[in-house]
Each structure stands twice: as structure tokens, then as C-alpha cells.
Amino acid sequence: MIGVLLQDEKIPGVHLAFGDPYGSQTGAPWKSRTHIDVLTRGCNVWIDDEQVIAGGRYADGALRTLDETRLSG
């Protein structure tokens, strides 16, 4: 991370945002007076039982196309 939030939030990892969803850009139907971003370093992320980020980097195979069984599930 380099300390510039708009660039840092694009690196692999987890970017959580709490508060206003910027409805004019996202289509969200609600508003909040605040917005707080949280970025992580070296995180591990699993979706279902598959690890997609390991130590802050995309895990092997994490970017493959979803197969038909997952889409129809």
C-alpha cells in the first residue's frame, strides 16, 4: 500500500466499506451521512470452501471462470 486510498483499495485483498453506498453510482436505494473504508494487508479470503486470496494475493485458480453447477446452484 502506498497511502493513497483510491489506489490502495484496488490491490488484491479485502476492501470493506461501511456507510453511504454512493447510490448515484451503485444504484443503492439508501443513504448514510458517513462512509468509512477499511483495507487489509496479507489477508486470507474463502468463498464457500475455496480459498480465493492467500496472504493478500490471489490464490492459484481463483480467477477461473465459474462453472455451470455454481451458476445454477
The pLDDT tens digits of the residues spanning 18-43 come to 899 989 988 999 999 999 888 888 88
Q: Give me the pLDDT at residue 60, please.
A: 75
Q: Give me the pLDDT at residue 67, please.
A: 47
Eight-state DSSP code of residue 37? E
Task: Give the model's confidence band at 4: pLDDT under 50 very low, under 70 low, under 90 confident, else very high.
Answer: confident
Number of domains in the chain: 1
The domain of 40 spans 5-72
Sign of CA dihedral 62, 66, 69, 72: positive
State which H helix or E strand residue 45 sits in: strand 45-47
Look up residue 54 and give its three cell numbers.
Answer: 492467500
The whole-number average pLDDT for the span 46-55 is 85
